Amino acid sequence: MSRIESITITPIAFRDPPLLNVYGVHEPWALRTIIEVHTESGHYGLGETYGDTQTIQQLRSVAPALKGLDIYQLNSIRQRIQDTIELPDPDAGLEIAPGTLGATTVPRIFSAFEVACLDAMGKITGRPVYDLLGGKVRDRVDYSAYLFYKFGRHQFTDDPWVDRWGEALTPDQIVQQARKMIDEYGFRSIKLKAGVFEPAQEIEALKALRAAFPDHPLRIDPNGGWSVETTLSLLSELDTELLQYLEDPAPGQSGMSQVSAATPIPLATNMCVIGDFHLRSAMEQNAVQVILSDHHYWGGLKATQDLAYFCKVWNIGVSMHSNSHLGISLMAMTHAAATIENLSYACDTHYPWQDEEVIKGGKITFTEGAVEVTDAPGLGVALDQTALAQLAHNYDTCGIRARDDVSEMRKYIPDWKGTVPRF
């Protein structure tokens, strides 16, 4: 009865504000894929992952091979994916290091199905996903206010939609954005996405945030946008009073390790440690003191727990970063985070930037910056088929097939490069 009868894979698109980062600017639509795993017993489980063409093709290519497998046999499901997935062309430039294509592809594809199977298991047994992961150690998972520099509206679209956040291009506007987000969601930590303006201006914004929110831990994340030399020259402006951690200031483990040797501020990453194959060299070089997991590419919720154990053994911090996402991903993050005893910091979420939802009941609410861990079966969310159909229609008509912040920024600045480091 717990065998997989069918899998439905639905690409979706939802509106996304013009958020700025080191690579460029978010396009008007963000893409995701919703996965429904249906069992022979008539139950279903939900997963949510990236919505680029390559991911959709990979999900669709392995789905038929999973039919008939038992949702409880996650190891067999992973093995089947590994055996059947066609890896991208190694010459396409997608490999991070020789031999890593499988090491990055299989966890990314498995994760989407793992979450859906865990959700189905929970719905069948009447247990929340956190119970299937060993039980919760907290009732609420804290998230941070994730601030972005942004334009007031998208300039190159016929869609009249304008987001509710307004322009944020100056330190004062960033403080206003923080205030609005904290007022609405109650967040108790703040992250500033950086790498957009000259570092001095971004540090001015950090200092303005510190003055406006003296008790909120702060982080800044230039996404590798500062060179090692630039980062070293900025360290006299940064200290552990201002920053809880410094996220990916410079690109690569070697660059991070040079910065790390020069500052007591913990360095965090979701860029230079993105899989098991990166762990050894990162520890050997003392490149990072905090690893930010992302279950969507680390290989799922159990793999996130494994990463947390690794961090415990090495006595380093662990938390989570995010990309544009909806409620299925938020609840998957929340259930995993609820089970991780050594979760060291509030997790990031893009969730406030999205108005749309694909789950029944609409947007998930935050209380004092946290998501309550639900005791409902599975992830505790159900699919709203009408909303799914609308978002699938958006995907069909939006014309975007993979996130491309660089090309979007070239519409504003034709000679925009979008390479790192920028400063």
- Tell me which residues touch Mg ion (CB under 5 A): 221, 247, 270, 321
* Residue 406 φ/ψ, nearest 5 degrees: -70, -50
Q: Does 321 bind ligand GKR (CB under 6 A)?
A: yes
Q: Which residue number, 114 or 221, has a Cβ lying nearer to ligand GKR? A: 221
From 323, 355, 390, 406, residue interacting with ligand GKR (rule: CB under 6 A): 323
Note whether 416 binds ligand GKR by CB under 6 A.
no
Tell me which residues are annotated as active site. Answer: 193, 321
Q: Are 186 and 158 in contact (CB under 8 A)?
A: no
Is there a contact between 32 and 56 (Cβ–Cβ < 8 Å)?
Answer: no
Tokens encoding 351: 């969730």
125 binds ligand GKR (CB under 6 A): no
Where does residue 214 rank: exposed (0-12), middle (13-18), buried (19+ CB within 10 A)? Answer: exposed
Tell me whether residue 44 or residue 226 sits nearer to ligand GKR (CB atom): 226
**Which one of ligand GKR, Mg ion, none interacts with residue 253, CB within 5 to 8 A by kind?**
none
CB of 193 to ligand GKR, least distance (A): 6
CA–CA distance, 214 with 211 (Å, rounded to integer):
6
Min dist. Cβ of residue 222 to Mg ion (A): 9
Q: Taking the complex as a whole, how short is the minimal distance between the CB of residue 93 and ligand GKR, in angstroms?
A: 19
By beta-carbon proximity to ligand GKR, the closer residue of 36 and 202 is: 202
Is residue 405 within a helix (H) or strand (E), and if so which, with residue range?
helix 405-412
Return d(Cα 289, Cα 327) in angstroms, integer.
Answer: 29
- What residues have CB less than 8 Å from 74, skipping those under 6 apart? 114, 117, 302
Among candidate residues 234, 280, 270, the one with its CA nearest the CA of residue 347: 270
Q: Which does 16 bind (CB under 5 to 8 A by kind): ligand GKR, Mg ion, none?
A: none
What is residue 241's DSSP assignment?
Answer: T
Residue 319 in contact with ligand GKR, rule: CB under 6 A: no
Q: Is 111 within any annotated ligand binding site?
A: no
Residues contacting 171, CB < 8 A, separation 6+: 201, 204, 205, 207, 208
Residues in 253-292 that interact with ligand GKR by CB under 6 A: 270
- Say which entry of ligand GKR, Mg ion, none residue 193 contacts (CB below 5 to 8 A, set by partner kind): ligand GKR
Phi, psi of 12 (to 5 degrees): -135, 160
Is 84 a binder of ligand GKR (CB under 6 A)?
A: no
**Nearer to Mg ion among residue 111 and residue 270 (C-beta):** 270
CB atoms within 10 A of CB 236: 8
Q: How far is the CB of 123 from ligand GKR (least distance, A)?
A: 30
Stretch that binds ligand GKR, among 158-166, 177-185, 317-325, 383-391 (CB under 6 A): 317-325
Tell the smallest beta-carbon distance from residue 346 to Mg ion (Å): 14
At 327, is the secondary structure helix, strand, or coil? Answer: helix
Is 417 known as a binding-site position? no
Binding segment toward ligand GKR, per CB under 6 A, in 118-126, 177-185, 205-213, 321-329: 321-329
193 makes contact with ligand GKR (CB under 6 A): yes
- Read off φ and ψ for residue 70, nearest 5 degrees: -80, 130
User: Amino acid letter at 337?
Assistant: A
Nearest to 349 by CA among 134, 181, 179, 109: 181
Helices marked H in 127-237 — which ranges?
Answer: 129-132, 171-185, 199-212, 228-234
- Residues in contact with ligand GKR, total (CB under 6 A)? 11
Q: Which is nearer to ligand GKR, 188 or 296 (CB)?
A: 296
**Tokens (6 digits) for 255:** 């660059």
Residue whose tokens read 């690794």: 310
Going residue by residue from 20 to 59, which x/- string records binding to ligand GKR, judged by CB under 6 A? -x--------------------------------------
Q: Which residues pair with 376 in a beta bridge?
A: none
> From the annotation, which residues make up the binding site for substrate?
26, 100, 146, 191, 221-223, 270, 321-323, 350, 403
Instruction: Could you list the residues known to form a binding site, using ranges.
Output: 26, 100, 146, 191, 221-223, 270, 321-323, 350, 403
- Chain residues that interact with ligand GKR, rule: CB under 6 A: 19, 21, 193, 221, 223, 270, 321-324, 348
